[in-house]
Each structure stands twice: as C-alpha cells, then as structure tokens.
Amino acid sequence: MSKAFDFASDLEESIRAAAIAQRTVYTGISAKECECGEEIPEGRRLAIPGVKLCVGCADRVALVKGGVRRG
C-alpha cells in the first residue's frame, strides 16, 4: 500500500513542478492601460510587476492557452 502512496506523491510533485515551470513570470514596468484600452488598476500593477493586460484580457489569454475557444 505504501508503494501506491509513494507513487501518488511522486506524481503530484512532478505535476506541481511542471505547473510552476510553465507559469508566466512578469518583470519590469507595468502598463497603466491594457491593449484593449481598459485601465489596469494600481493594485494589479503592484501585485504583478510588469503586467500588460487587464484581468479580462488575461483571463481570455489563459483560456486560449488552455485550449478553450470562444463560440
């Protein structure tokens, strides 16, 4: 039984490591305005250094990267 737990733990650790490696890392100066023209709130600019997209656009990009298409 402990082999199954060890396997599950190793699998979880490798999935987590892959997700961390694929995350977007922002650096630099944050934009005050998104590409869509929407203002990026100061709180978001401070929380995510180098952010270039508003929440709505960032969500759309994440969905597209995840394979979701708008219909």
Which string of DSSP letters, residue by residue, matches 13-49?
HHHHHHHHHHS----SPPPSB-TTSPBPPHHHHHHST
In a domain, 12, yes or no: yes
* Cα–Cα dist 38/66, whole Å: 24
Q: What is the pTM (predicted TM-score) of this model?
A: 0.57
Residue 34 falls inside a structural domain: yes
Q: In this structure, is residue 56 part of a structural domain?
A: yes
Whether residue 22 is contained in a domain is answered as: yes
pLDDT tens digits, the chain, 71 residues: what are they?
688 889 999 999 999 999 888 877 777 889 999 999 999 999 999 988 999 999 999 999 988 887 776 65
Report CA-CA distances (Å) from 4 to 8, 10, 16, 17, 21.
6, 10, 18, 20, 26
Residue 43 lies inside a defined structural domain of this protein: yes
Q: Tokens at residue 57, please?
A: 């656009």
Domain of 8, in residue numbers: 2-65
Judge whether 70 lies within some domain: no
Tokens read off for 39 = 């203002």
Question: What's the structural domain count of the chain?
Answer: 1
Residue 71 lies in a domain: no
